[in-house]
Amino acid sequence: MAEPFVLADRAEGDGIIAREEVLMPEHYPSGLLHREAELTEIADAVKPMLDNRQPENLFIYGDSGTGKTVCVKNVVKNLGEHSSRVKTVYANCWHHSTRMAVYSLVAGALDVMIPRRGLATDEVFTSITQAMEAEGTKVVLVLDELEGLFFHGEEQLLYDLARAGRGKPFFGIITIANDPYLLVQKDMRIKSSVRLADFQFRHYTNAQMVDILTERAFAGLAPGSWDEDVIGACAAKAMARKSNVRVGLELLWRAAKHVEKSGRRHITPEDVKGADAKTSYEPKKGRQMTIPSFEFRNTSLGDEERIILDILKTGDKQSSEFYLAFCKKLMRTKRQIRNYLHELEAKKLIRIEEMPGSNPMLNGKKISLNVGGAAQ
């Protein structure tokens, strides 16, 4: 009989990854390199709330991995530490995609109880504003991945926030999106009421990218396990993908994991090249994607959406074939599955295309991973 496989304990100090969390996209360092101007701009917009004055609402846009979310989170955390009267609430609009979902987050931050019997959305919002009036409390609300709110037709939320308080500074609104044109064709009533000031996060330069990855390597990897050539290789790949820091971090992490597994103590540029071949940021001719990228991990996904990505990792699927594969894992109606697919398409993680010569009435569609657009 074969011996059972055993995961042996790795002796402390055997690996080269000292602090793996530092190399993760979810890690938010207290200090941010090369984003001093952006931090100041955001801080200047929300600081008036500390003096009971109206803040400047922001529409922050830029490509993935340019530091939008991390900068905003750093500023609002600092703001909340300066005043107990200013609460900060963060909502990812793909995960909290309705007015009620966002209001529930705000109610939780304000300790406003929502009855179990349930209330209408407008009633919940009224309870929130009444509590804010009574306590003299203000809220800075961050709406990240704003595309999710518009995809679900819930942009009324912005109008509600803008008219709350009847001229008093109840809410400061910071919205974050990748698409700079998201608001161009939206309801003018909402845009004129919210008065969002555009603020672009530009791409990092190559030198800045090297600085950022070097800082993370010093903090997360063992001394002597990497060098400038390794950082340069990671930075070059990140710059090629619209200056996406997450790409550079992923390659550094994957290369370090590979070196640990092989029992070596030093990462080489060849390890970075090998790690790049295992990411899903762009199509690789003649091979299927086998490992989800940091972009997939960092996006707010539900269980059903993760199942969809897992199915598509094995290759493109015709719609009828896909529905069968999905229901083997989790029973949902075709309408529910189509909704999950359309959300992932809006997030630019999958593609849904008509199959050549197919009859649209027979669901002749091809569903595939948008591996070239996942890092956009």
**pLDDT tens-place string over residues 4-40:** 444 444 444 568 999 999 998 778 787 789 999 999 9
User: Does residue 291 surpass a pLDDT of 50?
Assistant: no
pLDDT beyond 90 at 259: yes
Mean pLDDT across 101-117: 90
Q: Which domains does the chain have, with CATH numbers?
A: 35-200 (3.40.50.300), 204-276 (1.10.8.60), 294-369 (1.10.10.10)
Query: Rounded CA gap, 146 and 137, in Å?
Result: 25
Residue 376 has pLDDT above 60, yes or no: no
What's the pLDDT at 27? Answer: 84
Q: Is the dihedral of CA 228, 230, 232, 238 positive or negative?
A: negative
The more confident residue out of 224 and 332 is 224
Indicate whether 152 pLDDT > 80: yes
pLDDT exceeds 90 at position 174: yes
* % of the chain residues with pLDDT over 70: 85
What number is the average pLDDT over the span 231-245?
94
Task: Please give the distance of CA 346 from its chain centroid, rounded to a whole number.
Answer: 14
Q: Which of 266-299 are b and which e, b meaning 16 or more Cβ less than 10 Å from the residue's Cβ?
A: ebbbebbeebbebbbbeeeeeeebeebbbbbebb
What are the helix (H) ranges across the chain? 36-46, 68-82, 99-109, 121-135, 147-151, 156-163, 188-194, 206-220, 228-240, 245-262, 269-276, 294-298, 303-312, 319-329, 334-346
Name the CA dihedral angle for 162, 164, 169, 175, rounded to a multiple of 10 degrees.
-40
**Residue 280: predicted pLDDT:** 55
CA gap 350, 343 in Å, rounded: 9
Helix (H, G, I), strand (E, B) or coil at 175: strand
What's the pLDDT at 281?
53
Specify which of 95-104, 321-330, 354-363 reaches the highest per-range mean pLDDT.
Answer: 95-104
Mean residue pLDDT of the chain comes to 85
Pairing of strands 138-144, 171-177: parallel
Specify the pLDDT at position 35: 95
Q: Quote the pLDDT of residue 294.
A: 52
Is-contact 30 274, C-beta < 8 A?
no
Contact between 343 and 94 (Cβ < 8 Å): yes
What's the CA gap between 233 and 224, in Å, rounded?
A: 17
Give me the pLDDT at residue 251, please: 95
- For residue 276, the Cα-to-chain-centroid distance in whole angstroms is 21
Q: pLDDT: is 286 or 134 the higher one? A: 134
